[in-house]
Amino acid sequence: MSSQENNNSRQPSQQPQQHVPPPPPPRQPAQLTFQDIPVSALEKLRPSLNQLTHSLRAFNDSFISTPVPPPSASLPLSGSSSYNKTNTGTSTPNGNRSDMRVDLPNYNNLQNQFNVILSQLESLVRTLDASRSVLQSTNVFPNYEFNTTQFEGLLTTLLRKKHLPEVDAWIDESIAITTATTSAGGEDGSDGGQMSEQAKEQARVNANRVVNADDEFSQECFQIVQEKLAEFIFGGYLTKEEIEKGMKITEFGNAGFNKKKILERSKNPVTELSSSDVYQFISQGRDAKLGGV
Amino acid sequence: MVQQLSLVSSIPKSQYKVLMLCLESYTGMNPHPLRQHTVILKPKYPFTPEMAAGKVNQIESYRIRMTRVWDNPNGFSSNLKSSSEQQQNQVKTEPSSDSTSTSATTSGDTDNSKPSPSSKQGLKGEPILDTFPPGTESTRNSSIWTLQLSDIPAGGKRTVSIQNIYETTIYETDDIMGYVDELGYTPDIEFWNNGVRFYYNDIVIEVFRLYVHSRGGHGQQAGGGVGNGNVNGVHQVSLRLLDGSENYQVKCFVNVSKLNDLENVARGAKQLENLKNDLSGLLNLDVPDRISLDSRVNSRIVAGNINKK
């Protein structure tokens, strides 16, 4: 089967020579010509599509297959619902400390993968754009050797041009968000005019929800981290006897924040010695950089 | 002679307490005080062998460090916690301070024969390079001094610094300065080292700061500076921090007594690396700069390094 595709079959073709000739009658077999197939355009697309699918799969896998210890897969927090869902859903709210593991993929890693995907998408778009006219005017059809009855399912999948309903929903949503955010920014484009006020408002709310979802998630993460931190910080520096005597450890982080001292220091800036300066002084005495001392 | 494997770091003053608490928990011990008075000696007569081409010049002269325990007669109580607070509070004289501020901060210290309840007074030490004024006596001859020579640390890419150190202790001498003089050495500078020590397995962890004579470096003030006095008949001068930023130096080291004891060298290096990992985040332990530990006189790599700067 030959695989040229016309993305827009309604559009009259500007380059009729690109059309693959209709299949010859069955009694005249075996003469398949590939000269009319836009090989170079398709071959250019192949590597970038390959890369992209590979990256997307890896990205997906890094969420799914992060190794999780079997007994308790996720945070033992009953409150953080969306969090648990994204992990594995096998939350054990009463999991004990030892098998508690927080298994999130590395953030930096994700960000890097995401950036790679973005650049690959961009390059795909550029490649598509470069051979736009060829691809737009090319039709795809099965040739006569293809057993259409046996592989009907495959054929319909391959030749399908319409988006899946869920894909359509994604596209609509994205368009709504973009228009809502641009019109919210005061930029009333011609597209905005076509929507009713109510629809616009709805879109704006949706957009806000989507945009802020990230913040909410961050907030939630931060809260969890705080709670966990409070559990882990070791505070038992004093003995029972010392506590009964009333001893306290208070000025933990405050030692450096004496305002007066800082003020004084800013008036008399001091040169900070590095370790090597100090050891040079110990080893070389007066001949070191601090020689005058 | 020992081989000393070491890693060093420094921390700002604000982190001192945190570090102390951590090291106390980590080593499971209370810190031992570390107080030393060190005099750096250098050869009296410069030795300049001819540098002949094609000849390997293996003769080097080294500086010597002469160290004794520094007893601060008026300074520290036995309680180390309060002494560390004392350290926090004292020595306000910045390197750039002029003579008026020096006298202002040290005026309270002049009468130090009275034990002051406040911990505001500065550290004092007996300088041996001063001529001691009449009516005072010197403890220089009654102290036990240790002479220390150190090689330049081994080169190459290493995870810890490895340095050979030669040490000997002088048990008894009637005239230490005369002894040094006979060795052909003359005192260069002196400094005081004040801090604490922890022990963990074979590792010794030192957290300290260096002090120098407070008049130091900014023109010799007449009369040996202000704030001097005598304590129990011993001439004392007030000290100031060498490093105006009040940072603490941290040095972790393992001594291996035999040169050819490679097994213990490897083990010590491993221990230091583990310590480095355990303390990472709190302390960034690192290999000290090899050139800064070169104590040779007229060292060409040191000179080259300074020229680069």
Instruction: ipTM value, please give it.
Output: 0.76
Q: Is B96 inside any structural domain?
A: no
CATH of the domain at B291: 2.40.320.10
Task: With a cut of 60, say whether residue B196 has pLDDT above it.
Answer: yes
For B201: left if phi > 0, alpha if psi spans -120 to 50, otherwise beta; the answer is left
Structure tokens at B107: 């005026």
Numbers of helices and strands, H then E, in chain A: 11, 0
- The residue of chain A with its CA nearest to that of B212 is A293
- Write out the H or E segment, with its range, that includes residue B307: helix B300-308
CB–CB of B95 and A270 under 8 A? yes
- A293 CB within 8 Å of a chain B CB: yes
Residue B93 located in a structural domain:
no
Q: What confidence tens digit (pLDDT) does each residue in A28-42 have?
A: 555 667 777 888 888
The verdict on B188 touching A (C-beta cutoff 8 Å) is yes
Cβ-based contacts of B63 with chain A (< 8 Å):
283-285
Looking at the complex, report in whole angstroms how far the Cα of residue A100 sits from the nearest Cα belonging to chain B.
Answer: 22
Nearest to A81 by CA among A89, A72, A73: A89
Enclosing domain of residue B241:
2-88+101-308
Say if the Cβ atoms of B289 and A276 lie within 8 Å.
yes
Give the side-chain half-sphere CA count within 13 A for B182: 6
- Min Cα distance A230 → chain B (Å) is 18
Amino acid, single-letter form, for residue A283: S
Residue B275 falls inside a structural domain? yes
Helix (H, G, I), strand (E, B) or coil at A32: coil
The residue among A86, A91, A89, A90 whose CA lies nearest residue A60 is A86
* DSSP reduced 3-state for B90: coil
Mean pLDDT computed over B256-274: 92
Burial class (CB within 10 angstroms; exposed 0-12, middle 13-18, buried 19+) of B43: middle
On whether residue B39 sits in a domain, the answer given is yes
pLDDT value of position A56: 92
Is B69 part of any domain?
A: yes
Domain count, chain B: 1
Long-range contacts of A219-227 (CB under 8 A, 24+ apart): A220/A80, A220/A82, A220/A83, A221/A83, A224/A75, A224/A77, A224/A80, A224/A83, A227/A77
Buried/exposed A235-261: b ≥16 CB within 10 Å, e otherwise: eeeeeeeeeeeeeeeeeeeebeeeeee
pLDDT per residue rounded down to tens, chain A (293 residues):
444 444 444 444 444 444 555 555 555 555 667 777 888 888 888 999 999 999 999 888 887 765 555 544 444 444 444 444 444 444 444 444 444 455 667 888 889 999 999 999 999 999 999 888 888 888 887 777 788 888 888 888 888 888 888 888 988 888 877 777 666 554 444 444 555 677 767 767 777 777 777 788 888 998 998 888 877 777 677 778 877 877 766 544 444 444 555 555 555 556 677 888 888 888 888 766 654 44
Q: Which residues of A touch B286 (CB under 8 A)?
A: 275
Looking at residue A288, what is its pLDDT? 67
Asked whether residue B95 is domain-assigned, the answer is: no
Q: What is the token pair recorded at A12?
A: 């009259």
Instruction: Note whether A283 contacts B294, CB cutoff 8 Å.
Output: yes
The verdict on B95 touching A (C-beta cutoff 8 Å) is yes
Q: Indicate whether B61 belongs to any domain.
A: yes
Measured between CB atoms, does A245 come within 8 Å of chain B?
A: no
Q: Which residues partner with B189 through β-bridges?
A: B40
Average pLDDT of the segment spanning B17-34: 91
Predicted pLDDT at A249:
63
Domain presence at residue B94: no
